[in-house]
Amino acid sequence: AGGSMERQAATRFRLQQLHALLKMITERETDIATALKQDLNRSQYDTSLLELTGLENEIKLAIDKLSVWAAPRAVERSILTLSDQVYVRPQPLGVVLIIGAWNYPWALTLGPLVGAIAAGNAAVVKPSELSECSSLLLRALLPRYLDKDLYPVVTGGVSETQELLRQRWDHVFYTGSSSVGRLVMEAAAAHLTPVTLELGGKSPCYIHSDCNIRVVARRITWGKFVNCGQTCIAPDYVLCEPSVQNQLIDCIRLTLLEFYGADPKSSPDYGRIINQRHFNRILSLMEGYVPVIGGQSDASQRYIAPTVLRDVPPQSRLMQEEIFGPVLPLVAVSDIDDAIRFINEREKPLALYVFCTDQKGIEKMLEETTSGGVLVNDVLMHYTLSSLPFGGVGHSGMGSYHGKHSFEQLSHMRSCLVRSLAMESVNLSRYPPQDRRRARRARMAMRAPLIDMSRRTFVWAVSATVIAVVLMVTLVVILLIAAGLNCTCWYWRGIYNYFW
């Protein structure tokens, strides 16, 4: 918050830390991939595809744009403040607590850290204890690359997290389940601490009958079963007409064979459930159903095959809880209106997926539903765009991040108005004693339209000034030439006498 020299030094420090974080990811990619293999049976190729590449892009974007994001931002002025400095200055919030998730333990922990560093905050990083190998590796690596006093790593389980939440923070960033999200928000409320909660939920996927089901099946199969279904924005269930279900089941079966072979258990690209408790939870959700695809499991490896269930009742337990595993229920609906009613009867999801080629149908779904994000004719890919804010609404969370949105989420946008003590006569109408005349002048000034000095109005004003100066100089030159030639024309002599 100091002068320009201090701000420049602060910006250099932030850039230094961001470069160091990028260096850690590139130098330690093999170690990170090994840890994820132990935690989730994640293949080394999926580690880069699902976590590290996106994280690198976030860091590079922050490095490239930091000077622009952190600069004061001119805003519209009124007539009364036309000659004043009016701007918004981003300021660090202070110290941020980041509670990471276990399903993507690097992207979902270090992603918010990128925003915290870019915004100039200190941060305490608490990785999930469930992804134990990744958590221990992060604790070992981060102090070697970043300032260990400003960005410490705290490991541990529930008791350690509870102890952290009892302390006062300037912002708490949590990614995980809705049940824990409530506890985080409750703890933060005791200190009036703002929170960012990315909570997931049951993300619906609607398929219209006009689609190429073969393509639809490939995209849904990838998004649902990647990371063994343990993705907060994975399609949780599919809504479609009964005739579409038949085609979809056949196409998913072919796609699974294409992706993972005849035995997904032996595929290097198919993951495992994070721990025994989640393994048992997912199996309990499947009880009472006869899968049309998959259903096999192996407790010794925490393996659950890619599974599809048909005609799942809307009131079943499977449709009440977030599945967060490789089980895809198919729910029959009669048409798009029935699908919209089904979605709106439930909590607002983190993501909504719509497969449709009819523009009217797409607009109808966008207009009549609400979700944190929406993606048409694909799944998951909106997460990869740093230009889009990623976050939930209602039950699926609050606040958003990625790219510039992370910077703004973890900054205080301070309003600044710097006035002059000159031209006091302009302010007289607001001072007492008041009368009808003064009040009318004050109202007129306050009702005046805002003037955007940072955009078109400013450009127009500068352009008009330049043109006026050029015309004036041209006129003066003409007059001087006329005088130098001893012009006898009464018209030009009259003009010359008028100006000189």
Cα–Cα distances in Å, from 396 out to 113, 198, 477? Answer: 21, 7, 70
Catalytic residue (one of 198, 228, 251, 322): 198
Q: What is the mean pLDDT of residues 268-293?
A: 96
Active site residue 232: yes
Specify whether 293 is located in the same domain as 359: yes
Q: Are 111 and 138 in contact (CB under 8 A)?
A: no
Stated pTM of the model:
0.88
Does a structural domain hold residue 48?
A: yes
Does a structural domain hold residue 421?
A: no
The pLDDT-based confidence of 1 (bands split at 50, 70, 90) is very low
Which pLDDT belongs to residue 497? 58
Rg (CA), the chain: 30
Q: Are 41 and 298 in contact (CB under 8 A)?
A: no
Specify whether 236 is located in the same domain as 342: yes
CA distance 337 to 326: 28
Specify whether 377 is located in the same domain as 333: yes
Specify whether 124 is located in the same domain as 189: yes
Specify whether 488 is located in the same domain as 465: yes
pLDDT at 163 over 50: yes
Does a structural domain hold residue 395?
A: no
Specify whether 382 is located in the same domain as 262: yes
CA distance 386 to 305: 33
The pLDDT-based confidence of 388 (bands split at 50, 70, 90) is very high
Tally of CB atoms within 10 A around 149: 8
Q: What is the CATH number of the domain that holds 181?
A: 3.40.605.10
Q: What is the mean pLDDT of residues 152-156?
A: 97
Q: Are 304 and 279 in contact (CB under 8 A)?
A: yes
Q: What is the CATH number of the domain that holds 291?
A: 3.40.309.10
Does a structural domain hold residue 236?
A: yes
Q: Are 181 and 201 in contact (CB under 8 A)?
A: no
Specify whether 63 is located in the same domain as 138: yes
Does a structural domain hold residue 29?
A: yes
Tally of CB atoms within 10 A around 237: 21
Specify whether 213 is located in the same domain as 74: no
Q: Average model confidence (pLDDT) for the chain?
A: 92
Does a structural domain hold residue 478?
A: yes
Q: What is the mean pLDDT of residues 321-342?
A: 97
Among 324-333, 408-417, 434-443, the least confident range: 434-443
Q: Per residue in 437-492, pLDDT tens?
A: 888 887 887 776 676 665 555 565 566 677 877 888 888 777 777 666 555 555 55
Give the residue numbers spanning the domain of 165: 4-199+403-413
Specify whether 285 is located in the same domain as 377: yes
Among 183-197, 205-219, 383-397, 415-429, the least confident range: 415-429
CA distance 294 to 309: 9
Specify whether 183 is located in the same domain as 212: no
Q: Per residue in 229-274, pLDDT tens?
A: 999 999 999 999 999 999 999 999 999 999 999 999 999 999 999 9
Active site residue 205: no
The candidate with the shortest Cα–Cα distance to 22, out of 65, 52, 50, 56, is 56
Which pLDDT belongs to residue 473? 82
Specify whether 300 is located in the same domain as 363: yes
The candidate with the shortest Cα–Cα distance to 245, out of 200, 293, 287, is 293
Does a structural domain hold residue 450?
A: no
Catalytic residue (one of 205, 211, 232, 356): 232
pLDDT at 344 over 80: yes
pLDDT at 416 over 70: yes
Q: Per residue in 101-111, pLDDT tens?
A: 999 999 999 99
Q: In sequence order, which residues have a C-beta less than 8 Å from that of residue 462 and are 6 or more positions away? A: none
Q: How far is CA 278 from the centre of its chain?
A: 27
pLDDT at 2 over 80: no
Specify whether 216 is located in the same domain as 232: yes
Does a structural domain hold residue 396?
A: no
pLDDT at 279 over 90: yes
pLDDT at 202 over 50: yes
> How many domains are contained in the chain?
3
Q: For 309-326, b where at least 16 C-beta lie within 10 A, e where not — what string?
A: bbebebeeebbeebbbbb
